[in-house]
Amino acid sequence: MAKNIYYLFLALGIFNSLTTSVIAVETVTISLFATDLNKCDDLSKCDAYVEILCVTSLSDGRECGKTKYIKNDNFPVWPEEFTFTNTSTEIFRRWQLKVLDHDDFFDDHIATVIVPFADFIAGTETQRHYKLDLGGRGSLYVTRVRSS
């Protein structure tokens, strides 16, 4: 009995190391777009942009990217591409994406969402766009442009 359990764990261990070596991703390039943004201004549409914070094994959340704002558009497609690396020296854990509305005096916060790196990598194998709900303020999509 004990021996069988030992073999079971051995088999699981081998399976686990095989699957992780297959899916390990070292670089990923993303881009961003949003749909149905709303409630920004009374007289115009949103002037939205996204700030990216990176949480890794070495950092609790440093700013690691920012789009320009797109004026008067509730369906912004930001042209920027951002590349991130995930290595054994700095393991990438998640993005924190802050969607803001540009204003001449004071930028308004629309929503902040979290994207765990592993979920993003797993979720986009058949689906290139990772969708995030902005709590009634629209949706943000993270597109996997390429990865290796």
Ligand X SMILES: *[C@@H]1O[C@H](CO)[C@@H](O)[C@H](O)[C@H]1NC(C)=O
Contact (Cβ atoms closer than 8 angstroms) between residue 18 and residue 39: no
Radius of gyration of the chain (CA): 19
Span interacting with ligand X, options 10-18, 65-73, 95-103, 116-124, rule CB under 6 A:
116-124
Count, residues in the chain: 148
> Is residue 114 near ligand X by the rule CB under 6 A?
no
Span interacting with ligand X, options 16-24, 32-40, 104-112, 123-131, rule CB under 6 A:
16-24
Q: Map tokens 């979720």 to a residue.
A: 123
Exposure pattern of 64-79 as b/e (b: 16+ CB <10 Å)? bbbbebbeeebebebe
x-marked contacts with ligand X along 25-44 as a string, rule CB under 6 A: x-------------------
Q: Alpha carbon of 37 to those of 33, 50, 53, 69, 125: distances in Å?
A: 11, 13, 21, 13, 27
> Is residue 49 near ligand X by the rule CB under 6 A?
no
> Is residue 115 near ligand X by the rule CB under 6 A?
no
> Is residue 142 near ligand X by the rule CB under 6 A?
no
Distance (Å, whole) CA 114 – CA 96: 5
> Is residue 67 near ligand X by the rule CB under 6 A?
no
Interacting residue with ligand X among 10, 114, 118, 145 (CB under 6 A): 118
Interacting residue with ligand X among 11, 14, 91, 145 (CB under 6 A): 91
Residues within the interface to ligand X (CB under 6 A): 20, 23-25, 86-88, 91, 117-118, 121
